[in-house]
């Protein structure tokens, strides 16, 4: 297992190199001039040229890429063109809200979606099954930002239960921290709860038709024990897979959710960097998201061996 993990981590190196090359090329070839954004509308041609030279944008693309990779190998993601702060420092200051939102979303998804899927599978064809599937269809159909604005309208503006926007770190107290996470967590988790619940239901329904389930029933095992001890464990591999995909998809979900609820996280930083054409920040964030995606896939592969002893690497 250890050798497999090491091989997978080593395989990320060429993948990250390709990601870096593609991102660097796309950002440099798309229309727009970051020097013009920094200089403003009244800048002269000489001022623009001076800014481009200071930023290294006057050099050939390959030279720029080589300089950037050299700094990257030293752990230096560069300096933001907009704020003149190190990219590592910017990411470090924004990672807290994103981690809090992602963690709360994952926990809520697992706590609600898996039991809903089990309930639907146990009551297959009944009204409870149809209700869970209807909720799942609703979760798939309504965009995250629509759910977010509806939650703000109902729970914040109408009832006044939660703050409309903003973020408070845990250091300011757990209650203010939790209050500002409830609405974005509910908005972001909707689609993932729907996805995981449907996969859980379909996986358990499929497993319930296997021979070992009939054998367990023939031995007199209780239906609840059969469902939880035998069916759910054997259906865990596709469930873990879809949860892993959902965790990786949070990368795109946080961009919308953090913008709606004005959370100062990595998703918000992505929007700001793209609008300002802040090359170093965009590149650093994409590399971080890509490595996170690869790491999540590795964790999911390792978890397969926990739930299914037949899988060995």
Is the separation of the CB atoms in 249 and 153 below 8 Å?
no
Split at pLDDT 50, 70, 90, the class of 300 is confident
* pLDDT value for 48: 67
Reported confidence tier of residue 42, pLDDT bands at 50, 70, 90: low
Query: In CATH, what number is assigned to the domain containing residue 209?
Result: 1.10.3720.10
Residue 37 falls inside a structural domain: yes
Residue 229 covered by a domain: yes
Q: Mean per-residue pLDDT for 225-232?
A: 73
What's the pLDDT band for 35 if we cut at 50, 70, 90?
A: low
Give residue 169's pLDDT: 80
The verdict on 41 and 123 lying in the same domain is no
CB neighbours of 4 closer than 8 A, spacing ≥ 6?
313
Please check whether residue 313 lies inside any domain of the structure.
no
Q: Are residues 210 and 117 in the same domain?
A: yes
Residues 58 and 121 occupy one common structural domain: no
pLDDT per position as a tens digit, 49-65? 776 666 666 677 777 77
Range of the domain at 57: 15-73
Compare 38 and 91 and report the one with higher pLDDT: 91
pLDDT of residue 154: 86
**What is residue 157's predicted lDDT score, i.e. its pLDDT?**
83
Q: List pLDDT tens digits, range 87-101.
A: 888 888 888 888 888
pTM above 0.75, yes or no: yes
Residue 90 lies inside a defined structural domain of this protein:
no
What pLDDT score was predicted for residue 310? 65
**Is residue 241, in this structure, part of any structural domain at all?**
yes
Q: 300 and 214, same structural domain?
A: yes
Q: Is 36 in the same domain as 126?
A: no
Please check whether residues 24 and 167 belong to one and the same domain: no
Q: Give yes or no: residues 20 and 156 share one domain.
A: no
Quote the pLDDT of residue 308.
65
The answer to whether position 81 is within a domain reads no
Distance of CA 109 to the CA centre of its chain: 13
Same domain, 27 and 157: no
Q: What is the mean pLDDT of the chain?
A: 78
Are 176 and 243 part of one and the same domain?
yes
Residues 171 and 61 in one domain: no
267 lies in the same domain as 188: yes
The answer to whether residue 295 sits within a structural domain is yes
pLDDT, one tens digit per residue, over 165-202 is 778 888 878 888 888 888 888 888 888 888 888 888 88
Co-location of 197 and 65 in the same domain: no
Segment 123-174, tens digit of pLDDT: 777 888 788 888 887 777 777 878 888 888 888 888 888 888 778 888 878 8
Assess if residue 150 is contained within a domain.
Answer: yes
Q: How many domains does the chain have?
A: 2
């Amino acid at each position: 297992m250890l050798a497999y993990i090491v091989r997978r981590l080593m395989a990320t190196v060429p993948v990250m190199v390709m990601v870096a090359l593609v991102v660097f090329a796309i950002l440099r070839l798309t229309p727009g001039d970051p020097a013009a954004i920094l200089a403003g509308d009244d800048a002269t041609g000489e001022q623009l040229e001076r800014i481009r030279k200071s930023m290294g944008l006057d050099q050939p693309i390959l030279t720029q890429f080589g300089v950037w990779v050299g700094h990257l190998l030293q752990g230096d993601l560069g300096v933001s063109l907009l704020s003149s702060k190190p990219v590592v420092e910017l990411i470090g200051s924004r990672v807290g809200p994103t981690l809090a939102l992602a963690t709360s979303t994952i926990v809520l998804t697992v706590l609600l979606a898996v039991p809903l899927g089990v309930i639907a599978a146990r009551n297959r064809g009944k009204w409870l099954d149809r209700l869970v599937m209807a909720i799942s269809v609703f979760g798939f159909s309504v965009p995250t930002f629509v759910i977010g604005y509806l939650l703000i309208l109902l729970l914040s503006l109408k009832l006044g239960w939660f703050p409309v926007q903003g973020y408070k770190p845990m250091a300011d107290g757990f209650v203010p921290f939790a209050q500002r996470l409830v609405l974005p967590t509910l908005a972001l988790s909707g689609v993932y709860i729907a996805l995981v619940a449907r996969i859980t239901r379909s996986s358990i329904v499929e497993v319930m038709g296997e021979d070992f389930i009939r054998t367990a029933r023939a031995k007199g095992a209780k239906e609840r024990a059969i469902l939880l001890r035998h069916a759910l464990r054997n259906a865990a591999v596709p469930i873990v897979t879809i949860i892993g995909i959902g965790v990786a998809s949070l990368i795109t979900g946080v961009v919308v959710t953090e913008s709606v609820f004005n959370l100062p996280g990595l998703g918000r930083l992505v929007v700001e960097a793209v609008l300002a054409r802040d090359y170093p920040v965009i590149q650093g964030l994409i590399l971080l998201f890509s490595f996170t995606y690869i790491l999540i896939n590795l964790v999911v592969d390792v978890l397969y061996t926990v739930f299914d002893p037949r899988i060995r690497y």
